[in-house]
Amino acid sequence: MIRYWFILATCALGASTHGQAPSHSAVNPAPRLEANWQKRASLLDQRLQETADTELLFIGDSITQGWENGGASNVWKQFYLRRKAVNLGIGGDRTQHVLWRLQKAPLEGVKPKAAVVMIGTNNSNGEDHTPGQIVEGIAAIVKTLRQRLPETKILLLGIFPRGENFNPQRGKLTQINQVLMKMHDGKSVHYLDIGHHFLKDDGILPTEIMYDYLHLTTQGYEIWAQALEPKLAELLGEKK
């Protein structure tokens, strides 16, 4: 399998053909200046310090942060409370923001068995980033996690589908996921695409699962948790 560092250097569609390092915003670590973001980022650092015995991290954007909302929080309790999971999602984040947070986060005192990563949908808006640039951003996140948490197994999720029906953005995300799959090495990095679980047979994304065709309902989070469980239990070394 092609390793994530090889992808970062050569495979992404937007990479330089002259051997130069990527220099676009998706791979350049950057904080956000909004007060709410700064407050949330500080809260997440505090969570890490207070949950040093965590077995599991969830890393991402608003879709990950949404585990804390309403009925989704009950699903979280059912599946992840006993694993002392820590939610590191921030709404609106892109790869560059997650990269900055992971580089600055107080990870020295934690040794989670697994980290679930799902990021990149916000980078895919319009012409903001090419599929290749988004792959590079995600690869940089995986590389950072491998450096900072070398004993943690990474469960890299394909970016979830968005939009009610077939659309160009879904196609963009599919292109990204096809390359993300190559980061799977079966040891440190494991790739899993569960996006098809959210769709009907005709490709429709129902509002019962994603109320705005992007963010999950409680039913959507139930589907996510159930689809994740077999692989997650394996990575955590839990008895079947």
Q: Which of 16, 128, 196, 212 is an active site residue?
A: 212
Q: Which of 45, 185, 197, 215 is an active site residue?
A: 215
Domain annotation covers residue 240: no
Contact 154, 188 (CB under 8 A): yes
Q: Which of 45, 62, 185, 193 is an active site residue?
A: 62
Active site residue 124: no
The domain in which residue 166 lies consists of 4-235
Kindly report the CATH number assigned to the domain that includes residue 158.
Answer: 3.40.50.1110
Active site residue 62: yes
What is the value of pTM for the model shown?
Answer: 0.91
Structural domain tally of the chain?
1
* Residues 179-210 pLDDT 10s: 999 999 999 999 999 999 999 999 999 999 99
The pLDDT value given to residue 23: 82
Active site residue 73: no
Domain annotation covers residue 143: yes
The pLDDT value given to residue 9: 38
* Residues 74-110 pLDDT 10s: 999 999 999 999 999 999 999 999 999 999 999 999 9
User: How far is the CA of 28 from the CAs of 96, 100, 140, 233, in angstroms?
Assistant: 6, 8, 9, 33
